[in-house]
Amino acid sequence: MDEEEMTYLEGGKEIANLSKKQCINGLCAIGLSPQVAIAGALTYTLAKCLINKVSKFGGLATAVVAGILTWAAGQVIAFGKGLARGALNNGVRVSWNWNPFKEAVGIGITVKY
């Protein structure tokens, strides 16, 4: 069974295969970009406002919003860690998993050695 077939059966789809150089360039672009700092600050502010608005309703609504924001933040962190590990090694394979019965839905990073 080849890798594409394995990926399909596991419910995921490979979306990128980044070399070590691409990981380094990506980290540099992210780290040196003022737009990233602005986007991060805006995202944090919007998330905080959204949680404050929803918390007035309390209960399930707050839990759902907090869960979605936590998941999204985790995806960003996972991608950043993958780029960093790929820059230190030989690169990374980035995949997206859509099947919640196999694994958590979201980004998967496999470091190439």
pTM above 0.75, yes or no: no
pLDDT-derived band at 62 (thresholds 50, 70, 90) equals confident
Query: Are the CB atoms for 78 and 109 separated by under 8 Å?
Result: yes
pLDDT digits 0-9 by tens, 9-56: 455 677 888 999 999 988 888 877 788 778 878 888 888 888 788 777
